[in-house]
Amino acid sequence: MNPLRILGLAALCMLSAGVLAAPVIVAEKQPLNLHAIGMFFVFVLGTLAITWWAARQTRSTADFYTAGGGISGFQNGLAIAGDYMSAATLLGLSSLVFAKGYDGFIYTVAFFVGWPLITFLMAERLRNLGKFTFADIVSYRLDQTRIRTFAAFGSLTVVCCYLVVQMVGAGQLIKLLFGLDYPIAVMVVGALMLVYVIFGGMIATTWVQIIKAVLLLAGGTVLALLAMAEFGFSYETLAARAVDTHAIGKAIMGPGSMLADPLNAASMSLGLAFGIAGLPHILMRFFTVPNAKEARKSVFYATGFIGFFFLVVVTLGFAAIVIVGTDPQYFVGGDLKGALIGGGNMVAMHLAKAVGGNLFLGFLSATAFATILAVVAGLALAGASAISHDLYATVLKKGTASERDEMRVTRIATIGLGVVAIGLGILFEKQNVAFLVGLTFGVAASTNFPVLIMAMYWKDLTTRGALWGGCAGLVSALLLVILSPAVWVTVLGNAKAIFPYDHPALFSMPLAFLVIVVVSRLDRSARAERERAAFDDQFVRAQTGLGAAAASAH
Amino acid sequence: MDRPVSRHAQSYDQIRNNPKFRQLVQSRSRLAWSLSALVFGTYSLFMLTVAFAPQLLHRPLGETSLLTIGIPVGAAVIVFSWLLTGWYVRSANTRFDALSAQIIEESQQ
């Protein structure tokens, strides 16, 4: 495989289930897995009970969008970690380490490092300035109509692309793990998501996310402990046997060939690190806690859980080199040099079977399914709130819509998003959705993130600057993704990509910032003066939390 | 629409003129930006080593060991930046929040 392809694969592995949809690994349907289905039923029943309970708590729009700000820092930390740790983090990253050794570890570090930065620079300002959506912050002192419309559009672009990626990944994964047909799998995911979001709103979505995060953390840890037991809990023994087993020997213990192109690696880590800070469903999490103190705590816990989980997954990858890599029963035709049964992403699943038997494999499969459901629900909620809170209630009705109407629109919007997600999910079954990952994070990092961070930090930002800069980021990210190998070569069938990198962020993000600064500086309108003057009050609120949206009483 | 800006305008003005507010802003942004620089610096150093001096990370941990320096270094980048997160959250949730509460109280007298 050439390095570009591996980088693309790595990107997919890390942040979405999309890699499972790559045409090379179109999943084969497996026999029905009864353990997995049984445990998944338990999960579904439990979460439906929670949704029923949450529905009774959800009375206002604040309850619906942000659980009334009543989630504690620790709970929210788990939920944030849950939003970030997708099924593919477990499957994709462990497979990457299995195949490439230390290079997989380098990616882990790259994907982790955005979190501390969010803690230092964004968490408290997000909570102090926002209410329901990140557009609240961006349009705080800028033009409500135009900026909100733009921010909502940015949110919806990201949400829709990412929903499709998750749906396609879900369909492939479920087909593989549970032995269900692809369209049925996609519809099950879509239907459950609709139930969680429409009836339970943010309260149900958060609890589904928390349960899934606990399952994933527990499942990963138990798997790592069982695997390490085979090596007498000694990393020294593990390293010795992994080096012995792996085709490239000692090379797996240090940086290898995967990062041959530093620019591509830089563009990717930039896009992924700052893309997180532009994902609407992650940003929304900061509004579910009562105050800035809890918001900070929640990122601290989330960062800890994510860091821990990543280290566990790296351990799994190395352990699998020995345990799975030497066992012919996990390879097609029993050929140790050939392909893994079920595709390259099944490393963690095979390891689960090898050290924990069928029951544990079933548990891990159910957890993977639950993981996708939770992420999809969070995305749908973020998209629906952009439609109902930003576009309907604020832009269209100028803040005069009643809560009942707004809730009704949210639910209709959720159904709309669900239908779109299921439809596109089925349509894209055989497509390589790699480009959608590039697009999701490209747009998040070059459109949502620059406008958001400038709105929070830069006094001189004006409506005109934010619009032009955001559009520059959006258009350049879109163009570069179209010209990138994922679309130009894989989808359109050209021989050579015009833009050689999979992620546009290294170029589109600085461009967005540049245009924001230049256009804002040149803006001499009276409106621009008012917007600059309004920064001082915004700044006091951002720093002290005075005037910040309060938690509703439960 | 009821803009919170106007509702608190007077307090905001008072707070801005409070020297304690300037102190809060200064000490918090100094900490936040230094820690960001530290995390970003550590990460960049790690990535630069990977790109330009990978052999450094290939060195064995001990004479007979097959574990390399790269393993603890990678883990350390993650753990270290998480600990810095803890440091910031601790300072912000105790020192800065206390100062901030004081400032708000003074503005409402």
pLDDT given at position A158: 93
| Confidence check: pLDDT of A398 > 60 | yes
Instruction: Say yes or no to pLDDT of A550 above 80.
Output: no
The rounded Cα B34 to chain-centroid distance in angstroms is 7
B12 vs A300: CB contact, 8 Å cut-off?
A: no
How many percent of chain A have pLDDT more than 70? 93
Q: Which two tokens stand for residue A420?
A: 């779109």
CB spacing of A299 vs B89 below 8 angstroms: yes
Domain membership of residue A375 (yes or no) is: yes
Beta-carbon contacts of residue A530 (< 8 Å; ≥ 6 apart): none
End-to-end CA distance of chain B: 28
- Whether residue A116 and residue B4 make contact (CB cut-off 8 A), yes or no, is no
- Pick the range with the lowest mean pLDDT from A86-95, A108-117, A150-159: A86-95
Q: How confident is the model at residue A93 (pLDDT cuts 50, 70, 90)?
A: confident
H/E segment holding residue B86: helix B70-91
Q: Which of A424-428, A473-477, A508-512 has the lowest mean pLDDT?
A: A424-428
Task: Give the model's pLDDT for residue A264.
Answer: 79
CA separation for the pair A38, A447 (Å, rounded): 43
Closest to B81 (Cβ–Cβ): which among A102, A108, A113?
A113
Q: Which residue in the block uniquely carries the two structure tokens 């900061």? A: A286
Give the residue-averaged pLDDT of A333-349.
84
Q: How many domains does the structure of chain A reveal?
A: 1
Q: What is the mean pLDDT of residues A491-495?
A: 86
Q: Does A25 have pLDDT greater than 80?
A: no
CB B108 within 8 A of CB B10: no
Question: Cβ distance A376 to A418 under 8 Å?
Answer: no
Q: Cβ of B16 and A115 within 8 Å?
A: no
- What CA–CA distance (Å, rounded) separates A524 from A93? 50
Are A135 and A152 in contact, with CB atoms under 8 Å apart?
Answer: yes
> pLDDT band for position A259 (50/70/90)?
low
Distance, in Å, from the CA atom of A38 to the CA atom of A44, rounded to the nearest integer, reads: 10
How many angstroms away from the CA of B56 is the closest CA of chain A?
Answer: 9
Look up residue B33 and give its two tokens.
Answer: 């930006």
Please check the confidence at residue A293 and state whether its pLDDT lies above 60.
yes
Interval A433-467: pLDDT, tens: 777 877 888 899 999 999 999 999 999 999 999 99
Instruction: Name A331's bridge partners.
Output: A340
More confident residue, A308 or A176: A308
Instruction: Tell me if chain A has a CB within 8 Å of the CB of B87.
Output: no
Question: What's residue A27's pLDDT?
Answer: 57
Q: What DSSP designation does A278 have?
A: T
Q: Is the confidence at residue A9, as pLDDT, over 60?
A: no
What pLDDT shows up at residue A148?
93
Q: Model's pTM, two decimal places?
A: 0.88
Q: How confident is the model at residue A114 (pLDDT cuts 50, 70, 90)?
A: confident
- The 8-class DSSP code of residue A142 comes to S
Q: Is residue A106 within 8 angstroms of chain B, CB to CB?
A: yes
Compute the distance between CA of residue A190 and CA of residue A194 in angstroms, rounded to an integer.
6
**Whether A117 and B40 lie within 8 Å, measured CB to CB:** yes
Which residues 44-83 of B are in CB contact (within 8 Å) with A?
46-47, 50-51, 54-55, 57-58, 65-68, 70-71, 74-75, 77-79, 81-82
A543 part of contact set with chain B, CB < 8 Å: yes
Helix or strand run (H / E) with residue B28: helix B19-52
Considering only CB atoms, A296 lies closest to which of B21, B67, B93, namely B93
Is the pLDDT score of A519 beyond 80? Answer: yes
Residue A518 lies in a domain: no
Kindly state whether A399 is in contact with chain B, defined as any CB-CB distance less than 8 angstroms: yes
Q: Which residues of chain A have a CB within 8 Å of the CB of B85?
A: 115-116, 119-120, 299-300, 303-304
Q: Kindly report the CA angle at A516 between A131 and B26, in degrees rounded to 5?
A: 65
Average pLDDT over residues A81-101: 86
Lowest mean pLDDT: which of A62-76, A179-193, A335-349, A512-526?
Answer: A335-349
Q: Is B36 on the interface with A (CB under 8 A)?
A: yes
| Lowest-confidence pick of A36-40, A162-166, B6-10, B103-107 | B6-10
Is A458 among the domain residues? no
Q: Using the predicted structure, report yes or no on whether residue B12 has a pLDDT greater than 90.
A: no
Q: Of the candidates B1, B25, B67, which has its C-beta nearest A543's C-beta?
A: B25
- A543: how many CB neighbours lie within 10 A of its CB? 22
In a domain, A517, yes or no: no
Whether residue A364 is predicted with pLDDT greater than 60 in this model: the reply is yes
What would the two tokens of residue A236 be? Answer: 């020294």
pLDDT at A23 over 80: no
Instruction: Please judge whether B5 and A141 are an interchain contact, meaning their C-beta atoms are less than 8 angstroms apart.
Output: yes
**Residue A293 with chain B: CB contacts under 8 Å:** 92-93, 97
* pLDDT tens column, A55-78: 998 888 888 889 988 899 999 999
Q: Is the pLDDT of residue A17 over 50?
A: no
The token pair that represents A532 in the structure block:
């600059």
The pLDDT of residue A1 is above 70: no
- Which of A93, A119, A125 is the best mutation test for B, with the most CBs of B within 10 A? A119
Residue A410 contacts B where some CB pair is shorter than 8 Å: no
Specify the CATH number for the domain of residue A275: 1.20.1730.10
Local confidence band at A322 (pLDDT 50, 70, 90 cut-offs): very high
Residue A379 has pLDDT above 60, yes or no: yes
Query: Phi and psi for A328 in degrees, rounded to 5?
Result: -60, -25
Interface test with B, best of A136, A253, A294, A314 (most B CBs within 10 A): A253
Residue A390 is given by DSSP the state: I
Picking from A323, A178, A352, A172, the residue whose alpha carbon sits closest to that of residue A245 is A323
Check whether A21 has a pLDDT greater than 70: no
Computed over every residue of chain B, the mean pLDDT equals 88
Q: Is the pLDDT of residue A3 over 90?
A: no
Residue A243 lies in a domain: no
Cα–chain-centroid distance for residue A128? 24
Residue A139, chain B, CB below 8 Å: the answer is no
User: Rounded to an integer, what distance in angstroms lies between the CA atom of residue A282 and that of residue A158?
Assistant: 12
pLDDT of residue A372: 87
- Residue A104: pLDDT band by 50, 70, 90 thresholds? confident
**For residue A273, what pLDDT is reported?**
80
Q: Could you tell me the residue range of the domain that residue A192 belongs to? A: 3-235+268-432
- Whether A12 is covered by a domain: the verdict is yes
d(CA B67, nearest CA chain A) in Å: 6
Q: Choose the weakest-confidence range: A95-99, A458-462, A468-472.
A: A95-99
Round to whole Å and give the CA distance between B12 and A543: 11
- pLDDT, residue A343, reads 76
Taken as a whole, chain B contains a residue count of 109
Q: Which residues are registered as beta bridge partners of A145? A: none
Residue B64 pLDDT exceeds 90: no
Contacts of A260 in chain B (CB under 8 A): none
pLDDT at A260 over 80: no
Q: Please give the residue of chain A at the shortest CA–CA distance from B6.
A: A537
pLDDT at A430: 79
Q: What is the mean pLDDT of residues A183-194?
A: 92
**Alpha-carbon torsion (B85, B87, B93, B95), positive or negative:** negative
Residue B7 is predicted with a pLDDT of 67
Please report, rounded to a whole number, the percentage of residues in chain A having pLDDT higher than 90: 53
Contact between A124 and A295 (Cβ < 8 Å): yes
| Mean pLDDT taken over chain A | 87
Amino acid at A447: T
pLDDT at A312: 96
Is residue A477 one of the residues assigned to a domain? no
